[in-house]
Amino acid sequence: MDKEVIDAIRAKEQLPETMTDSEIAQEYKGTYTAARAAISLDHKPLDQVLADTMAKIFPFMRNKK
């Protein structure tokens, strides 16, 4: 498992820093969590894609900063 995926899992699952990369890789290998972490490295989350699309269709839905 790639280091980037392990780091994404650690952040998403709020795992302690004391848990080693190999422990995380062993525990999460082949899981849905690992798959989502890998996908999130290359793509926007689905919620963000939907929000961006809705903002294009309905300009009043844009986040006010």
pTM exceeds 0.85, yes or no: no
Q: Which two tokens stand for residue 49?
A: 């894609």
pLDDT digits (tens, 9 = 90+) for 1-49: 889 999 999 998 999 989 999 999 999 998 988 888 887 777 777 778 7
In one letter, which amino acid is 6?
A: I
pLDDT at site 7: 92
3-class SS letters over 12-65: HHCCCCCCCHHHHHHHHCCCHHHHHHHHHHHCCCHHHHHHHHHHHHCHHHCCCC
Q: Three-class SS of residue 2?
A: coil
pLDDT at site 21: 93
